[in-house]
Amino acid sequence: MKTKLLDFWAPWCGPCHVMAPVLEEIKKELEGKVEIEEINVDENPQKASEFGVMSIPTYIILKDDKEVGRKIGVAPKAELVKLITS
């Protein structure tokens, strides 16, 4: 099963900057198990619209290209890892 985390963010988003190091840790810890795709909503508004993203940061977990989880806003690392691995 292929797992992907979509990270919807923008350079001007304070909470996005707070979450950046958390995502880096997750990327290292789950290397080979999850692909993280960072989507700048200013540069890619159509993708944000496609997934119904209304606020950022938004994290969407896809397994085999189907949405299985979503988290909006700042979240503890453990919560995101649980969403990814469950």
16 classed as catalytic: yes
Indicate which residue of 6, 7, 8, 16 is catalytic.
Answer: 16
Show the tokens assigned to 13.
């988003």
Cα 71 from Cα 56, distance rounded (Å): 10
Cα 28 from Cα 77, distance rounded (Å): 13
Q: Which stretches of 1-86 are DSSP H helices?
A: 14-29, 45-50, 77-85
Indicate which residue of 3, 4, 10, 13 is catalytic.
Answer: 13
What are the residue numbers of the active site? Answer: 13, 16
